[in-house]
Amino acid sequence: MSSMEIDFKQYQLRCQLRGHEDDVRGICVCGSEGIATSSRDRTVRFWSLDSSDKRKYVSSKMLLGHSSFVGPLAWIAPDEEFPEGGIVSGGMDTMVFVWDLRTGEKVQSLKGHQLQVTGVVLDGGDIISSSVDCTLRRWRKGQPVESWEAHKSAIQAVIKLPSGELVSGSTDTTLKLWRGKTCLHTFSGHTDTVRGLGVMHGLGILSASHDGSIMLWAQSGEVLMVMVGHTSIVYSVDAHVSGLIVSGSEDRFTKIWKDGVCVQSLEHPGCVWDAKFLENGDIVTACSDGVVRIWTVDQENIADPVELEAYASELSEYKLSRKSVGGLKLVDLPGLEALQIPGTSDGQTKIVREGDNGVAYSWNMREQKWDKIGEVVDGPDDSMKRSVLDGVQYDYVFDVDIGDGEPIRKLPYNRSDNPYDTADKWLLKENLPLSYRQQIVEFILQNTGQKDFNIDPTFRDPYTGSSAYVPGQPSYASGIAAKPTFKHIPKRGMLVFDAAQFDGILKKISEFNNTLLADSEKKDFSLTEPEISRLGAIVKILKDTSHYHTSRFADVDIALLLKLLKSWPVAMIFPDVVMEMIMKATTDPALPANLLTSIRAVTNFFKNSSYYSWLQKHRSDILDAFSSCLASPNKNLQLAYSTLILNYAVLLIEKQDEEGQSHVLSAALEIAEQETLEIDSRFRALVAIGSLMLEGLVKKLAMDFDVGNIAKAAKASKEAKIAEIGADIELLTKQS
């Protein structure tokens, strides 16, 4: 669903807050007083509104005391003890500090956690903190009150709900709801680390995960909504009273969501560690380039054109710095001035940078000039020579299994890198204990064949004080294993269509009703004025709450909808989520509007696991009913059909339904073979094929269907993601 179809004002840059000297890791909105930010540079900064320009903020306090990078923050509203408010901060140094903003001084040092502090939240007068050490701790007046092991794996976040309960999110992929030290419920649904948590006003709990998704949960544990769109780890999520949701990710984008649909993506020149709403709806983002940015929809507060242009330039330069041609970094190539230097032999080649491209020249000895050969591009096999993670090429991308039930993690490495630096940075990024350092270095050296790596015997770990690990000596930790790396498979979670044009539907129903009234033979099927009015009220409820399932309809409302669906002529049907109408909507000759609405309705059933058995039981009839969508010239129908196929692949892998998987594989292969099909439709079919081969029961069947040729054709595509999933499938075909 495009952002143009949803009532939404686009955010633009308001201002940039510069001062931190390294990644900005955390954001805390301090009421109307200002904004606090934490950083890898070991500081917390407090930003106040600039009295000379209300669009901007200035750094008014810098809080110094942490001995390593600072992460989570919480705001203490002004009171007798803190007349100008206070800040609570947690750090990699295992400490929780309380700061008085009036003086900028540290007034409490809370020591007790064994590993990095990942979350801090106020609970009345108490402070609750979470840590990689798997515990939650309660502090009162500077003293520890209680602590408990809340998860068996690292805790990554903790929040307090308006109702008073606490929620924790963990590397074990779950969320837990707490009243005191009692766990009321465990939420399972994510397939990787739960990294960030937020409160959705009046609706439930938001979670951001390393699996790339964001989920909205009811307190009962039901998944109300899944938001998929990020292409990497999602670090943070927050919600505004307006219903908007914001998320920050490793993929360099802050995404804004409305009713489950991504309505805008704000690109950054680096990873987005945190994103928060101000009370007025503006958004604050924390980026790895050390800059805090504020985004607004208020035209009066948008940055000057010069600053907007400068930011666009900065983004362009950043992307350019990551671009490579023929395996060479574009920024490292010489400019055209390099052609002023004569060549040394006939046919000598030189690659120079022209604009955003690399161009090859050959030295013509007879004419003493450089002849242009042409633009250099990465060949179709170049991407296979080096692994890719989050759009960046590396010599290696390893799957690292830490063990103890921890999820698999991606470790990128270039042969030119220092393995110790790589290990340190990776452990910090993954929020893993630095005690794993020796184990990770050994793993890198063994798996890259660097047996002759020179180790500095005088080296001392700045965090642990221990000396460098020497390969060949025993390591106290074990259990790390490398596995093949895939870019797009297996698919996790379901894709749904989460927006409907209710006003347009109501208008169309009214038009159709007038047509019925004018036809003496069909007049009895028409709706009365009170019924039309009641439909308007139903639409109002749907517009307000359709995505959160918090309202109930009266029996009379359901009866009215059934009357409309069952008695109106087929040409006038606008199918809703009444599944009995599938066959009616798909009966030949089927109308595109009927097909599209009904296939999207069925696809949306995958959002709720309570429908899984029904979907599995009726799989054959449903797929057969909608198979005509593939031949339709309507691209929306093609995409909806591919989405249905992909969702069925995910479901039937989970159910280990071999017969169903075979049916879905056959349908997906039929889609994938059509190279002229719309990109997203073909991509989703290819992801279904790859997922079924990797985790399903039909890999041999796929090989029998000659999936290798389909993979080869996809890999040669000019569309990056089609080529990537083609490479994934080709790699699968080569595995025993």
pLDDT for the residue numbered 169: 96
* pLDDT of amino acid 268: 96
Q: Say how far apart CA 257 and CA 236 lie, in whole Å.
A: 13
Residue 454: pLDDT band (50, 70, 90) is: low
Residue 196: predicted pLDDT: 96
Q: How confident is residue 468, by pLDDT bands cut at 50, 70 and 90?
A: very low
Confidence tier at 544 by pLDDT (50, 70, 90): low
Measured in whole angstroms, the distance separating CA 71 from the mean position of its chain's CA atoms is 20
* DSSP three-state, residue 691: helix
Q: What are the pLDDT digits (tens) for 242-266?
A: 999 999 998 899 999 999 999 999 9
Structural class in CATH, domain 387-448? alpha beta
What are the φ/ψ torsions at residue 420 (nearest 5 degrees)? Answer: -70, -45
Residue scoring higher pLDDT (288 or 511): 288
In a 3-state reduction of DSSP, which class is residue 162? Answer: coil
> Domain 28-253, what architecture?
7 Propeller (2.130)
* Per-residue model confidence (pLDDT) at position 597: 80
Rounded mean pLDDT of 450-456?
A: 54
Average pLDDT over residues 613-620: 88
* Average pLDDT rounded to a whole number, residues 604-612: 83
Predicted pLDDT at 498: 60
Q: Hey, where are the domains in the chain?
A: 7-22+254-322, 28-253, 324-376, 387-448, 564-734
Instruction: Tell me the pLDDT tens digit for each residue of 140-185.
Output: 999 999 999 999 888 999 999 999 999 999 989 999 999 999 999 9
Write b or e for each residue in 611-626: b if 16 or more Cβ atoms lie within 10 A of its Cβ, otherwise e.
Answer: ebeebeeebeebbebb
- Using alpha carbons, select from 112, 724, 684 the residue that is nearest to residue 393: 724
d(CA 651, CA 648): 5
Q: Is the pLDDT of residue 58 over 60?
A: yes
Which of 106-115, 274-283, 634-643, 674-683 is the least confident region? 674-683
In the CATH hierarchy, which top-level class contains the domain 564-734?
A: mainly alpha
Mean pLDDT of 54-63: 93
Could you give the CA distance from residue 196 to residue 381 in angstroms, rounded to a whole number? 37
- Per-residue pLDDT of 406-446, as tens digits, reads 677 888 888 778 888 888 888 888 877 777 777 788 778 87
pLDDT tops 90 at residue 204: yes
The answer to whether the pTM exceeds 0.95 is no
Tokens of 35: 């904004």
pLDDT for position 459? 44
- Max mean pLDDT among 270-284, 320-334, 488-502, 701-715 falls in 270-284
- Looking at residue 477, its pLDDT comes to 35
CA-nearest of 301, 123, 120, 265 to 136 is: 120
Q: Specify which of 312-316, 332-336, 511-515 reaches the highest per-range mean pLDDT.
A: 312-316
pLDDT digits (tens, 9 = 90+) for 631-667: 888 888 899 999 999 999 999 999 999 889 988 988 8
Tell which wins on pLDDT, 32 or 64: 64
Q: Which of 63-77, 194-208, 360-374 has the lowest mean pLDDT?
A: 360-374
pLDDT category, 462, cuts 50, 70, 90?
very low
Q: pLDDT value at position 384? A: 40
User: For position 328, what pLDDT does the model report?
Assistant: 66
Q: Which string of DSSP letters, residue by residue, matches 706-728?
A: THHHHHHHHHT-SSHHHHHHHHH
pLDDT at 480: 45
Q: Range with the lowest mean pLDDT among 89-98, 155-164, 476-485, 533-542?
A: 476-485
> How far is Cα 117 from Cα 155, in angstroms, rounded to an integer?
9
Give me the pLDDT at residue 390, please: 63
pLDDT the model gives residue 550: 52
Q: Residue 571 has what pLDDT?
A: 44
Mean model confidence pLDDT for the chain = 82
Q: What mean pLDDT do residues 369-384 have?
A: 62
Quick one: what percent of the chain has pLDDT higher than 90? 41
pLDDT at 453: 58
Kindly tell me if the per-residue pLDDT of 585 is higher than 90.
no
- Tokens coding 68: 């390593």
For 481-531, write each residue's pLDDT tens digit: 445 678 888 888 888 776 555 666 677 677 777 877 777 777 677 777 778
- pLDDT over threshold 70, residue 549: no
The larger pLDDT score, comparing residue 497 to residue 696, is at 696
Going from the C-alpha of 318 to that of each of 185, 315, 360, 700, 717, the distances in angstroms are 44, 5, 23, 44, 26
Angle at 641 between CA 640 and CA 647, to 5 degrees: 90
**Consecutive H or E run containing 603:** helix 592-604
Going by pLDDT thresholds of 50, 70 and 90, the confidence category of residue 5 is very low
Whether the per-residue pLDDT at 690 is higher than 90: the answer is yes
Reply yes or no on whether the pLDDT at 539 is more than 80. Answer: no
> Do the beta carbons of residue 642 and residue 684 sit within 8 Å?
yes
Q: Are strands 291-296 and 283-287 parallel, antiparallel or unpaired?
A: antiparallel
